[in-house]
């Protein structure tokens, strides 16, 4: 653990919770804790712009909850990409690293887990948008703590202990239960070009 701490000690650390995203040009470390959720680390090496999101589920159920949109796949990806473009990134130069999608929720049924759906979404989105996925660490039955260094574009992963796992799971299960009560609705998305 001391090596891991040393790697991050000279950087400002930004922590992401479920549904949040962050982009910067300043060489910060972006940290998050994942269970069945997924995070995508995007970067434009030429513009030195990087960012990360924390996605709860692939689709939104209620568009009236606009402030929660970043919890859901397509919205979380587009919000992060648009923020990065505003900082000088070009969509055509983006590269990705993606993580999470563990099979850890007790509400999951075999073959249709939130983690599996999240993994499928991320892979399909990146392929459709022609954003290369350079590396990934998906699935499993454990949670992950990610540290994304936005200056070097390196990602450090720590498989978590039971205490952190229980924290991640309780947050995710509560949100999944709330989302399952929302009605399904697909709305328009405004995409911004470079």
Active-site positions read 37
Length of the chain: 194
Angle at 106 between CA 100 and CA 111, to 5 degrees: 65
CB 104 within 8 A of CB 142: yes
Closest CA to 115 of 50, 174, 170, 176: 176
Residue listed under structure tokens 């022609």: 130
Residue listed under structure tokens 């759906």: 117
Residues 6+ apart with CB under 8 A from 182: 61, 62, 65
3-state per-residue secondary structure call for 73-90: HHHHHHHHHHHHHHCCCC
What gap in Å lies between CA 189 and CA 176, rounded to an integer?
23
């Amino acid at each position: 653990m001391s090596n891991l701490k040393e790697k991050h000690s000279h950087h400002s650390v930004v922590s992401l919770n479920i549904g949040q995203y962050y982009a910067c040009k300043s060489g910060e470390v972006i940290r998050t804790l994942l269970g069945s959720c997924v995070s995508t680390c995007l970067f434009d090496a030429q513009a030195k712009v990087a960012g990360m999101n924390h996605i709860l589920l692939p689709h939104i159920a209620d568009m009236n909850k606009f402030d929660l949109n970043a919890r859901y796949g397509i919205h979380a990806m587009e919000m992060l990409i648009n923020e990065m473009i505003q900082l000088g990134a070009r969509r055509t130069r983006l590269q990705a690293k993606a993580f999470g999608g563990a099979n850890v929720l007790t509400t999951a049924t075999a073959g249709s887990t939130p983690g599996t759906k999240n993994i499928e979404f991320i892979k399909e989105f990146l392929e459709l948008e022609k954003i290369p996925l350079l590396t990934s660490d998906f699935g499993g039955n454990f949670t992950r703590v990610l540290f994304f260094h936005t200056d070097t574009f390196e990602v450090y992963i720590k498989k978590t202990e039971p205490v952190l796992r229980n924290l991640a799971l309780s947050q995710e299960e509560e949100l999944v239960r709330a989302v399952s009560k929302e009605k399904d609705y697909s709305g328009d998305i405004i995409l911004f070009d470079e």
